[in-house]
Chain A
Amino acid sequence: MATKEFTRKGSLQIVDVPKVLRNGSFYIAQARIANMLQWKWSIIGEAIANPMFYLLSVGIGIGKFVNSHQAKGIDGVKYLVFLAPALLASACIIGASNAVMHPTLEGFKWNKNFFAMNSTPISARQIANGVLLSAVARALFGTIIYYLALLLFGGVNGLHSLWLLPATIFSAAAFAAMMLGFCAAIENSDLLMNIVNRLLIMPLFLFSGTFYSLSTMPKFLQFIGWLSPLWHATEIGRWISYGHHISALGISIHFAYMSIMLVSGLLFSHHHFKRRLSK
């Protein structure tokens, strides 16, 4: 029998509570990222395959067709250039939203490890923030790869197009914060998946001016785009990428909308994380 014994100092000596109060969200994000790294090859594979499929099929295939019918292109540019900021934003937003959904279901329901985290000095709010941070980090990785693919295919060009990265990540963070709140609020996981996939992601992708300008849609459908963070991100992205015309007020509204979504999404998440962990 092994006789190695504890050399006990006690938690009063070794646990630095203010440090956890400051850094707890990062500890959670670190743990989440360590968890993701177990599937690093599939994450890398997906990050590369995703833009390739879209760019080859929609960007080049449909692009050729569109360009042959629209001599001036769309919005004054080639179809791929028009499409690129929207594809980047949608990949980033959907990526971040998936990266909050799975761990949240797992943490509350499947293996309940949010409850384990919450039995340490870590608070419910820090768990929510940490999950969001890790999702944004993962989305950032995917977005960088996507951006490089767009560069390769000529969908973006010029140094100024690097500004697409922070703008896109910001919109993804805003949407993922809202999704995080939904995942915590809706306790029935099947219902949650149905709502998210059928009522949120699909319409978001199709009605946000991704493949054609939102203004070509009937007015009563345009409102879906106005609500969608993807449309706001796409508009800003097109402005950054090729100087798509938006007024200063328009830009401010796009950013304000996403800022409000980020803050309210976080507050919504904090509320429901706290509620579910203290039930």
Chain B
Amino acid sequence: MSVKDASQGPLISAKGLRKEYGAFTAVDGIDFHVNKGESFGFLGPNGAGKSTTMRIIAATLTRTAGEITVLGKDPEKSGPEIRAHLGVVPQQDNLDNSLTVEDNLYVYGRYFGLSKKYIRTKIEELLTFAQLEEKRGVKVEALSGGMKRRLTIARALVSEPEILMLDEPTTGLDPQARHILWDRLFRLKEQGVTLLITTHYMDEAEQLCDRLIVMDKGKIMAEDSPAGLIKKYSTKEVLEVRFGSDRNAQYSDQLRAMCERIEVLPDRVLMYSDDCEELLHQVVLAGLAPTTSLVRRSSLEDVFLRLTGRTLVE
């Protein structure tokens, strides 16, 4: 019996999923499903329960309560059968530092029972994909952070997984390395690979996810596409104004009266409106002269702020 054919409904489906560590509840009864070919995200700050959820899906952590099926099977009962079809990119790279780039891919492929001949051919594709052709004979310890990350992703692809799971794929990478990585992930998405991504970067979630859940303290706060979430929980635009740290709060009542909603942060005030150029005009007319002002489109950061009263990256 092989795992369920992916065309018959969601690849992953969870109901009332819960994980407790003693008195601490890491995942607090969440429901979600992931469809084939979808790029699905878990967005939330550190400690929101994203990685815990990922490990339960990846059949390497037991749940305390609730139901979950991955590829039609229960991860607690069919761990190896499920893991055979997952590509896992953990938050911290766990490559074998003493082996070369090429050998890391080879050894990992063997763990899936793949033939030597198949892996040797696949390695060529993966090295190209990860832009590591010239590093093939280099030991992993000599690679940069971005290269290690790409190698970890390439390693996860050696078995051509149905679902690629990426836990904070670009944390700790410089902007250029992040963009290279996003580009690689786009290509996979185009090939129909189902992506499961956790991130606390709203730009990453917006770039990569078709649909996402916003998590905080183990609970799901909202679920939709990035655009859908922004539409539902924020205005089209945001005006950011700074008056100096002691005056931001002082003007808040006046500013609140001018628009739908404001958020007073320690260093700036966010004003929500569908036409922020007009709003800025009003602010100036009212005789409040901000030291700096910026009009931008609403983002998932604003959604998170609205839902939890906190910023994502603190």
Contacts and interface: CB of A to CB of B under 8 A. Distances in A.
Contacts of A28: 111
Nearest to B133: A2
B308 interface: no
B83 interface: yes
B159 A14 contact: yes
Contacts of B162: 10-12
Contact of B61 (A17, A21, A278): A278
Contacts of B90: 115-116, 119
B60 interface: yes
B159 A35 contact: no
Contacts of A35: 96, 98-99
A13 B62 CA distance: 28
A117 interface: yes
A69 interface: no
A277 interface: yes
Interface residues of A, number: 42
A27 B80 CA distance: 15
Contact-residue size bin, chain B (C-beta under 8 Å from the other chain): 35 or more
A273 B79 CA distance: 15
Given A31-B107, A116-B108, A38 B98 contact: yes
Contacts of A19: 113
A24 B80 CA distance: 11
A76 B10 CA distance: 76
Given A35-B96, A111-B95, A122-B111, A12 B85 contact: yes
Contacts of B157: 6
A17 B86 CA distance: 12
Given A111-B94, A119-B58, A6 B125 contact: yes
B113 A10 contact: no
Contacts of A4: 124-125, 128-129
A36 to B, nearest CB: 10
Nearest to A130: B111
Interface in A103-137: 111-113, 115-123
A20 B128 contact: no
A65 B83 CA distance: 63
B291 interface: no
A121 B81 contact: yes
B128 A123 contact: no
Interface string B47-80: 0000000000010111000000000000000011
Interface string B125-162: 10011010100000000000000000000010101111
B221 interface: no
A116 B95 contact: yes
- Chain B at the A interface: SS class: loop
Nearest to A26: B110
A198 interface: no
Contacts of A277: 60
A19 to B, nearest CB: 4
A34 to B, nearest CB: 7
B227 interface: no
A8 B118 CA distance: 12
A273 to B, nearest CB: 12
Contacts of B88: 119
A279 B51 CA distance: 12
Interface string B172-187: 0000000000000001
The listed residue with most A CB atoms (<10 A of its CB), out of B60, B94, B111, B112, is B111
Contacts of A160: none
Contacts of A15: 84-85, 112-114, 159
Interface in A15-59: 15-17, 19-21, 23-24, 27-28, 30-31, 34-35, 38
A140 B83 CA distance: 34
Contacts of A17: 2, 80-81, 84, 113
A38 B92 CA distance: 25
A262 to B, nearest CB: 25
Contact of B113 (A31, A121, A278): A121
Given A30-B110, A119-B90, A121-B81, A14 B118 contact: yes
Contacts of B129: 4, 6
A2 to B, nearest CB: 5
B107 A121 contact: no
A219 interface: no
B2 A120 contact: no
A174 to B, nearest CB: 27
B70 to A, nearest CB: 13
Given A6-B191, A11-B161, A20-B80, A121 B112 contact: yes
A116 B110 CA distance: 12
B1 to A, nearest CB: 10
6 contacts: A9-B160, A14-B114, A15-B159, A21-B80, A111-B96, A122-B111
Interface of B: 2-3, 6, 58, 60-62, 79-81, 83-86, 88, 90, 92, 94-99, 103, 107-108, 110-114, 118, 124-125, 128-129, 131, 133, 155, 157, 159-162, 187, 191-193
Interface of A: 2, 4-17, 19-21, 23-24, 27-28, 30-31, 34-35, 38, 111-113, 115-123, 277-279
Given A2-B133, A6-B129, A34-B107, 10 more contacts: A6-B125, A11-B112, A15-B85, A34-B103, A113-B95, A119-B86, A121-B83, A121-B111, A121-B113, A279-B61
